[in-house]
Amino acid sequence: DAGITQSPRHKVTETGTPVTLRCHQTENHRYMYWYRQDPGHGLRLIHYSYGVKDTDKGEVSDGYSVSRSKTEDFLLTLESATSSQTSVYFCAISPGPGEGSYEQYFGPGTRLTVT
Amino acid sequence: DQQVKQNSPSLSVQEGRISILNCDYTNSMFDYFLWYKKYPAEGPTFLISISSIKDKNEDGRFTVFLNKSAKHLSLHIVPSQPGDSAVYFCAASEGGATNKLIFGTGTLLAVQP
Protein backbone atom coordinates (compact mmCIF):
# COMPACT_ATOMS: atom_id res chain seq x y z
CA ASP A 1 0.00 0.00 0.00
CA ALA A 2 1.12 3.51 -0.80
CA GLY A 3 2.13 5.46 2.26
CA ILE A 4 -0.69 7.95 2.61
CA THR A 5 -2.21 9.17 5.83
CA GLN A 6 -5.02 11.63 6.40
CA SER A 7 -5.77 13.59 9.54
CA PRO A 8 -8.10 13.88 11.25
CA ARG A 9 -10.03 10.75 10.32
CA HIS A 10 -13.27 12.14 11.72
CA LYS A 11 -14.32 15.68 12.49
CA VAL A 12 -17.51 17.40 13.52
CA THR A 13 -17.56 21.16 13.19
CA GLU A 14 -20.06 23.99 13.20
CA THR A 15 -21.20 26.04 10.26
CA GLY A 16 -18.98 29.04 9.68
CA THR A 17 -15.84 27.65 11.29
CA PRO A 18 -12.60 27.09 9.39
CA VAL A 19 -11.42 23.52 8.91
CA THR A 20 -8.12 22.14 7.63
CA LEU A 21 -7.60 18.58 6.52
CA ARG A 22 -4.12 17.17 6.10
CA CYS A 23 -2.76 14.61 3.68
CA HIS A 24 0.72 13.22 4.23
CA GLN A 25 2.62 10.89 1.90
CA THR A 26 5.89 9.03 2.22
CA GLU A 27 6.14 8.00 -1.45
CA ASN A 28 7.68 11.20 -2.78
CA HIS A 29 5.04 11.31 -5.54
CA ARG A 30 4.73 14.52 -7.49
CA TYR A 31 0.95 14.63 -7.83
CA MET A 32 -1.55 14.95 -5.00
CA TYR A 33 -5.33 15.27 -5.18
CA TRP A 34 -8.29 16.03 -2.95
CA TYR A 35 -11.66 14.41 -3.69
CA ARG A 36 -14.99 14.35 -1.97
CA GLN A 37 -17.34 11.38 -2.07
CA ASP A 38 -21.09 11.88 -1.82
CA PRO A 39 -23.96 9.47 -2.48
CA GLY A 40 -25.00 9.54 -6.12
CA HIS A 41 -21.92 11.47 -7.19
CA GLY A 42 -19.00 9.09 -6.89
CA LEU A 43 -15.69 10.86 -6.29
CA ARG A 44 -15.33 14.45 -7.43
CA LEU A 45 -12.06 16.31 -7.70
CA ILE A 46 -11.75 19.41 -5.52
CA HIS A 47 -8.16 20.56 -6.09
CA TYR A 48 -4.92 18.99 -7.14
CA SER A 49 -1.21 19.69 -7.01
CA TYR A 50 1.43 18.89 -9.59
CA GLY A 51 4.37 20.00 -7.50
CA VAL A 52 5.37 22.07 -4.49
CA LYS A 53 3.43 25.33 -4.57
CA ASP A 54 1.78 24.27 -7.86
CA THR A 55 -1.95 23.74 -7.49
CA ASP A 56 -5.07 23.97 -9.61
CA LYS A 57 -8.83 23.69 -9.30
CA GLY A 58 -10.94 20.63 -9.87
CA GLU A 59 -14.62 20.39 -10.71
CA VAL A 60 -15.97 21.29 -7.23
CA SER A 61 -13.46 23.81 -5.90
CA ASP A 62 -15.82 26.54 -4.64
CA GLY A 63 -15.43 27.05 -0.89
CA TYR A 64 -12.12 25.19 -0.72
CA SER A 65 -8.48 26.20 -0.86
CA VAL A 66 -5.30 24.15 -0.81
CA SER A 67 -1.65 24.55 -0.07
CA ARG A 68 1.43 22.46 -0.69
CA SER A 69 4.60 23.83 0.86
CA LYS A 70 6.52 20.55 0.70
CA THR A 71 6.31 17.38 -1.35
CA GLU A 72 4.85 15.21 1.38
CA ASP A 73 2.00 17.42 2.62
CA PHE A 74 -1.15 18.67 0.90
CA LEU A 75 -3.61 20.67 2.97
CA LEU A 76 -7.28 21.25 2.19
CA THR A 77 -8.95 24.21 3.91
CA LEU A 78 -12.60 25.05 4.21
CA GLU A 79 -12.48 28.74 5.04
CA SER A 80 -16.03 28.83 6.41
CA ALA A 81 -17.63 25.41 6.58
CA THR A 82 -21.19 24.92 5.33
CA SER A 83 -23.54 21.98 5.72
CA SER A 84 -23.16 21.20 2.01
CA GLN A 85 -19.50 20.38 2.72
CA THR A 86 -20.48 17.46 4.93
CA SER A 87 -18.82 14.61 3.08
CA VAL A 88 -16.06 12.05 3.07
CA TYR A 89 -12.81 13.52 1.82
CA PHE A 90 -10.11 11.45 0.17
CA CYS A 91 -6.57 12.36 -0.66
CA ALA A 92 -4.79 10.60 -3.51
CA ILE A 93 -1.25 10.54 -4.82
CA SER A 94 0.30 9.61 -8.14
CA PRO A 95 3.76 9.52 -9.63
CA GLY A 96 2.17 11.10 -12.69
CA PRO A 97 2.06 10.34 -16.42
CA GLY A 98 5.68 11.32 -16.74
CA GLU A 99 6.47 8.19 -14.77
CA GLY A 100 4.26 6.13 -17.08
CA SER A 101 1.43 5.80 -14.60
CA TYR A 102 -2.09 7.18 -14.48
CA GLU A 103 -2.96 5.26 -11.34
CA GLN A 104 -3.80 7.24 -8.25
CA TYR A 105 -3.49 5.77 -4.76
CA PHE A 106 -5.91 6.83 -2.09
CA GLY A 107 -5.70 7.54 1.60
CA PRO A 108 -8.18 6.19 4.16
CA GLY A 109 -10.45 9.24 4.08
CA THR A 110 -11.71 11.89 6.50
CA ARG A 111 -15.36 11.97 7.44
CA LEU A 112 -16.38 15.60 7.99
CA THR A 113 -19.72 16.60 9.44
CA VAL A 114 -20.75 20.25 9.47
CA THR A 115 -23.63 20.96 11.84
CA ASP B 1 -23.00 16.49 -17.11
CA GLN B 2 -21.80 13.03 -16.14
CA GLN B 3 -18.95 12.07 -18.46
CA VAL B 4 -18.53 8.64 -16.86
CA LYS B 5 -21.67 6.68 -16.08
CA GLN B 6 -22.32 3.53 -14.14
CA ASN B 7 -26.00 2.92 -14.67
CA SER B 8 -26.36 -0.02 -12.31
CA PRO B 9 -26.25 1.14 -8.69
CA SER B 10 -26.09 -2.44 -7.47
CA LEU B 11 -25.47 -6.01 -8.62
CA SER B 12 -25.94 -9.32 -6.83
CA VAL B 13 -24.28 -12.56 -7.97
CA GLN B 14 -23.71 -16.02 -6.56
CA GLU B 15 -20.30 -17.09 -5.37
CA GLY B 16 -18.36 -18.79 -8.16
CA ARG B 17 -20.32 -17.12 -10.93
CA ILE B 18 -19.20 -14.25 -13.16
CA SER B 19 -19.72 -10.62 -12.13
CA ILE B 20 -19.95 -8.08 -14.94
CA LEU B 21 -19.80 -4.40 -14.05
CA ASN B 22 -20.45 -1.87 -16.77
CA CYS B 23 -19.34 1.69 -17.43
CA ASP B 24 -20.16 4.12 -20.23
CA TYR B 25 -18.42 7.36 -21.10
CA THR B 26 -19.18 10.30 -23.34
CA ASN B 27 -15.82 12.03 -23.76
CA SER B 28 -13.95 10.70 -26.80
CA MET B 29 -10.74 12.29 -25.48
CA PHE B 30 -10.46 9.75 -22.66
CA ASP B 31 -7.54 7.46 -23.38
CA TYR B 32 -6.97 5.63 -20.11
CA PHE B 33 -9.50 3.83 -17.96
CA LEU B 34 -9.26 2.43 -14.46
CA TRP B 35 -11.32 0.39 -12.02
CA TYR B 36 -11.22 0.92 -8.29
CA LYS B 37 -12.68 -1.15 -5.49
CA LYS B 38 -13.89 0.39 -2.25
CA TYR B 39 -14.81 -1.23 1.04
CA PRO B 40 -16.82 0.72 3.64
CA ALA B 41 -14.77 3.15 5.74
CA GLU B 42 -11.69 2.66 3.55
CA GLY B 43 -10.17 4.52 0.63
CA PRO B 44 -10.59 3.23 -2.92
CA THR B 45 -7.94 0.76 -4.04
CA PHE B 46 -6.70 0.49 -7.60
CA LEU B 47 -7.76 -2.73 -9.27
CA ILE B 48 -6.97 -2.77 -12.98
CA SER B 49 -6.55 -0.36 -15.88
CA ILE B 50 -6.59 -0.30 -19.66
CA SER B 51 -5.18 2.02 -22.27
CA SER B 52 -7.30 3.07 -25.21
CA ILE B 53 -4.93 1.32 -27.58
CA LYS B 54 -6.01 -2.03 -26.13
CA ASP B 55 -9.37 -3.75 -25.99
CA LYS B 56 -8.65 -6.16 -23.16
CA ASN B 57 -6.48 -6.35 -20.07
CA GLU B 58 -6.39 -9.28 -17.67
CA ASP B 59 -5.06 -9.66 -14.16
CA GLY B 60 -5.90 -12.91 -12.42
CA ARG B 61 -9.65 -13.12 -11.87
CA PHE B 62 -10.18 -9.58 -13.20
CA THR B 63 -10.52 -8.66 -16.87
CA VAL B 64 -11.39 -5.27 -18.27
CA PHE B 65 -12.82 -4.94 -21.78
CA LEU B 66 -12.89 -1.69 -23.73
CA ASN B 67 -15.16 -1.00 -26.70
CA LYS B 68 -14.11 2.42 -27.97
CA SER B 69 -16.69 2.63 -30.73
CA ALA B 70 -19.46 2.12 -28.17
CA LYS B 71 -17.67 4.18 -25.50
CA HIS B 72 -18.18 1.31 -23.12
CA LEU B 73 -16.01 -0.66 -20.76
CA SER B 74 -16.73 -3.56 -18.50
CA LEU B 75 -15.06 -5.37 -15.62
CA HIS B 76 -15.41 -9.13 -15.41
CA ILE B 77 -14.69 -10.99 -12.19
CA VAL B 78 -14.42 -14.75 -12.54
CA PRO B 79 -15.03 -16.58 -10.30
CA SER B 80 -16.72 -14.16 -7.92
CA GLN B 81 -15.90 -14.51 -4.23
CA PRO B 82 -17.66 -13.10 -1.14
CA GLY B 83 -14.59 -10.94 -0.48
CA ASP B 84 -15.26 -9.18 -3.79
CA SER B 85 -18.35 -7.57 -2.25
CA ALA B 86 -17.62 -3.84 -2.42
CA VAL B 87 -18.38 -0.69 -4.39
CA TYR B 88 -16.64 -0.59 -7.76
CA PHE B 89 -15.84 2.72 -9.44
CA CYS B 90 -14.73 3.16 -13.01
CA ALA B 91 -12.62 6.19 -13.82
CA ALA B 92 -11.27 7.78 -16.98
CA SER B 93 -8.45 10.12 -17.86
CA GLU B 94 -7.66 12.27 -20.88
CA GLY B 95 -4.02 11.78 -20.03
CA GLY B 96 -1.78 14.78 -20.34
CA ALA B 97 0.17 16.50 -17.61
CA THR B 98 -2.61 16.89 -15.06
CA ASN B 99 -3.51 13.20 -14.75
CA LYS B 100 -7.01 14.10 -13.60
CA LEU B 101 -9.49 11.26 -13.22
CA ILE B 102 -13.24 11.45 -13.76
CA PHE B 103 -15.13 8.88 -11.72
CA GLY B 104 -18.45 7.17 -12.21
CA THR B 105 -20.98 6.95 -9.41
CA GLY B 106 -20.11 3.38 -8.47
CA THR B 107 -21.79 -0.03 -8.46
CA LEU B 108 -22.30 -1.98 -5.25
CA LEU B 109 -21.47 -5.63 -5.85
CA ALA B 110 -22.82 -8.23 -3.45
CA VAL B 111 -21.49 -11.76 -3.85
CA GLN B 112 -23.77 -14.23 -2.13
CA PRO B 113 -22.18 -17.35 -0.57
3-class SS at B103?
strand
Tell me whether residues A50 and B101 touch, CB distance under 8 A. Answer: no
Per-residue pLDDT reduced to its tens digit, A69-102:
999 999 999 999 999 999 999 999 998 776 556 8
Q: Is-contact B49 B40, C-beta < 8 A?
A: no
First to last CA, chain B: 38
B-chain residues within 8 Å CB-CB of A29? none
B-chain residues within 8 Å CB-CB of A104? 46, 99, 101
Give the pLDDT mean for B11-37.
96
Residue of A nearest to B47 (CA): A103
Tell me whether residues B101 and A41 touch, CB distance under 8 A. Answer: no
- How far apart, in Å, are the Cα atoms of A49 and each of A83, B36, B68, B87? 26, 21, 30, 27
SS (H, E, C) B54-88: CCEEEECCEEEEEECCCCEEEEEECCCCHHHCEEE
Tell me whether residues A40 and B96 touch, CB distance under 8 A. Answer: no
A-chain residues within 8 Å CB-CB of B103? 35, 42-44
In this predicted structure, what is the pLDDT of residue B65? Answer: 98
CA A10 to chain centre: 14
